[in-house]
Homo-oligomer: A and B are copies of this chain.
Amino acid sequence: MSPIRAVFVGVGAMASLAAPMLIDKEVQIVGAVGRSPGKVGRDAGDVLGLDRQLGVPVEADVAAVLSSRPVDIALVATSSFMADVGAHLAVCARHGVNAITIAEEAIHPWRTSPRISADLDALAIEHGVTLTGGGFQDTYMINLVTTLIGAAHRIDRVVGRSSFNVDEYGPEVARDQQVGRTVEQFEAWLAHADRPPTFGDNILDAIAAASGLTITDCTTTTRPDLATAEIRCESLDLTIEPGRLIGFTDVDTFETAEGPTLTVELSGRIYNAGETDVNDWRVAGDPTMHMVNPDVDTQRATCTQWVNRIPDVINAPAGLTSVDRLPPMRYRPLPLHHYVDRA
């Protein structure tokens, strides 16, 4: 068994958090791709905030990096949506490289981006690699939930509530969450025909798929979360006046042919002092059920799961897949290459 060779596509906040975890689990960082002129050309260890250089520069072109060295997996963190991240996943597939992205839509993208998903699946199968989405939702919003409701005799309604602090995920996510906008700007944006699908939809798609539920109707409402006092958004270097957006909450609800209703309320906003991430799931049915993860470290848990899934992605059959189809994620006390199947 030899160490896993990984490439970061995207060298922002999440890659910087994940890099020490990779090193600790003996995954070799053999390449890094970034866009910013301030990062390209510098040593990846410096850009990722490590205490040592890695001997590989941050480069601007994914294809150039993947065609110039052997790579087992790409860790993709460039955007939240398939329309953007799909191109990077396609380049990985064409170069015969497995990939796992933390793009939120990628957690279960088939219904919200059917054409991109079908194209990526065909490309991945053609090149014998696995592409998938991972991150925070994997355990906390999908696999813990499908495991919990697997213990029910009957579920009538599942309601999940989760929040994350926008300010921990860099400026891209903060801009996506409309931080600093006025309510009027938010509503104009919301009414726009090209609004990307909500991430809650992708989470509920995964839960429904794992639970044998057939979606018959989906509704989404979105409410703005407003600053009640002046508050800082560090990632945008912006002070937000009261009445402007600190983020928003998407409320996605699915009706199913089998009866159960599934709802997820996903809030991404700037937190007030002392506020923490909570993951809370309530099940009405037989029996009633309730599961809470108080004070979740969403940011680190995003990266731990991005990293821990690497062997599962390498081991999985070729194609575009999702975390509900992968084996249950297990604790990995050994270096990650010990968990790679040798076929």
**Nearest residue, chain B, Cβ from A146:** B330
Could you give, for residues 117-147 of chain A, a 1 whenever the CB lies within 8 Å of some chain B CB and a 0 otherwise? 0000000000000000000001110011011
Q: Does A292 contact B (CB under 8 A)?
A: yes
Of the listed residues A140, A153, A301, the one surrounded by the most CB atoms of chain B closer than 10 A to its CB is A153
Q: Is the CB of A330 within 8 A of B150?
A: yes
Kindly state the separation between the CA atoms of A163 and B211 in the bound complex, as whole angstroms. 28
Q: Does A304 contact B (CB under 8 A)?
A: yes
Query: Hey, which chain B residues are within 8 Å of A25, CB to CB?
Result: 153
**Nearest residue, chain B, Cβ from A290:** B294
Q: Does A308 contact B (CB under 8 A)?
A: yes
Query: Hey, which chain B residues are within 8 Å of A333, CB to CB?
Result: 211-213, 258-260
Q: Is the CB of A210 within 8 A of B146?
A: no
Query: Hey, which chain B residues are within 8 Å of A212, CB to CB?
Result: 330-334
Kindly state the separation between the CA atoms of A150 and B328 in the bound complex, as whole angstroms. 8
Kindly state the separation between the CA atoms of A321 and B301 in the bound complex, as whole angstroms. 31
Q: Is the CB of B288 within 8 A of A297?
A: yes
**Nearest residue, chain B, Cβ from A333:** B258
Query: Hey, which chain B residues are within 8 Å of A286, CB to CB?
Result: 300, 304
Q: Does A287 contact B (CB under 8 A)?
A: yes
Q: Contact partner of A138 among B151, B295, B328, B334, CB < 8 A?
A: B151
Q: Does A87 contact B (CB under 8 A)?
A: no
**Nearest residue, chain B, Cβ from A339:** B212
Query: Hey, which chain B residues are within 8 Å of A218, CB to CB?
Result: none
Q: Is the CB of A297 within 8 A of B287?
A: yes
Could you give, for residues 316-328 of chain A, a 1 whenever the CB lies within 8 Å of some chain B CB and a 0 otherwise? 0000000000001
Q: Contact partner of A331 among B138, B146, B290, B305, CB < 8 A?
A: B146
Q: Is the CB of A21 within 8 A of B301?
A: no
A3-54 residues at the B interface, CB under 8 angstroms:
21, 24-25
Q: Does A148 contact B (CB under 8 A)?
A: yes
Q: Is the CB of B144 within 8 A of A148?
A: yes
Q: Is the CB of B290 within 8 A of A151?
A: no
Kindly state the separation between the CA atoms of A290 and B294 in the bound complex, as whole angstroms. 6
Q: Is the CB of A152 within 8 A of B258?
A: no
Q: Is the CB of B290 within 8 A of A153?
A: no
Q: Is the CB of A150 within 8 A of B293?
A: no
Query: Hey, which chain B residues are within 8 Å of A148, CB to CB?
Result: 139, 144
Q: Does A155 contact B (CB under 8 A)?
A: yes
Q: Does A179 contact B (CB under 8 A)?
A: no
Kindly state the separation between the CA atoms of A258 and B210 in the bound complex, as whole angstroms. 32
CB<8 Å pairs between A and B, sample of 9: A24-B154, A139-B147, A139-B151, A146-B330, A211-B333, A212-B333, A288-B297, A289-B293, A292-B293
User: Which residues of A pack against B, CB within 8 Å?
Assistant: 21, 24-25, 138-140, 143-144, 146-155, 210-213, 258-260, 286-297, 300-301, 304-305, 307-308, 328-334
Contacts A139-B151, A289-B297, A292-B292 aside, 19 further interface pairs with beta carbons under 8 A come to A25-B153, A139-B148, A146-B328, A146-B331, A147-B328, A150-B328, A150-B330, A155-B331, A210-B331, A211-B331, A212-B331, A212-B334, A258-B333, A286-B300, A287-B300, A289-B293, A289-B296, A290-B295, A328-B328
By Cβ-Cβ distance, the 6 closest A-B pairs, closest first, are A150-B329, A287-B297, A258-B333, A139-B151, A211-B331, A287-B300
